[in-house]
Amino acid sequence: MTAPENDQPLHASDSPLVGVVMGSDSDWRVMSDASQVLTDFGIPHEVEVVSAHRTPDKLIRYGREARGRGIRTVIAGAGGAAHLPGMLASVTALPVIGVPVQLATLDGLDSLLSIVQMPAGIPVATVSINGAKNAGLLAVRILAASDSSLADRVEAYAADLEAQVEQKNARLKE
């Protein structure tokens, strides 16, 4: 499903408002869903591979600099020992949305538990395993809290979903 048409850019410039980061390029098969949602809603965003374990200095730098660069929300996806979202949340005041990426072993439960069990004080908004689409939508909603025209489009998106369910329902009865 595509987002409702937007006739004007959310931001005057094209500087990114959302950072979509992932532990490996192999996560893109999942994380591209978040990027697609942001594109559909016309949200300028950036995509970057940032590994908690392979590029730890980059992780700290990314987290510390994101807010100053105008990023308003970070979506972070990782699999296995998925420390990226939590570590980012520990070095930025921005909201961090964590996406547990399912790997070939353990059905993604390892990724989920690594991301969701944060210590009190450092929150990560964890979506479902491979739930990158909802991560994108949650980022849109976070931005919409201070942007009423974007909030209108979120409502239109939800109304469209509702209409689709009813269309399918009607088809069942034909």
For the annotated binding site for substrate, the residues are 24, 27, 54
Q: Applying CB under 6 A, does 50 fall inside the site for ligand RP5?
A: no
**Cβ-based nearer residue to ligand RP5, 101 or 137:** 101
Can you tell me which of 101, 125, 139, 154 binds ligand RP5, judged by CB under 6 A? 101
Summarize the annotated binding site as residue ranges: 24, 27, 54
Can you tell me which of 3, 19, 21, 27 binds ligand RP5, judged by CB under 6 A? 27
3-state secondary structure of 10: coil
Can you tell me which of 15, 26, 128, 149 binds ligand RP5, judged by CB under 6 A? 26
**CA dist., res. 131 & res. 114, Å (int):** 15
**Cβ-based nearer residue to ligand RP5, 24 or 36:** 24
**CA dist., res. 135 & res. 130, Å (int):** 9
**CA dist., res. 96 & res. 58, Å (int):** 17
User: What is the number of alpha carbons within 13 Å of residue 134 lying toward its C-beta?
Assistant: 10
Can you tell me which of 78, 87, 139, 154 binds ligand RP5, judged by CB under 6 A? 78
Region of residue 164 (left: phi > 0; alpha: psi -120 to 50; beta: else):
alpha
Q: What residues line the site for ligand RP5 (CB under 6 A)?
A: 22-24, 26-27, 51, 78-80, 101, 103
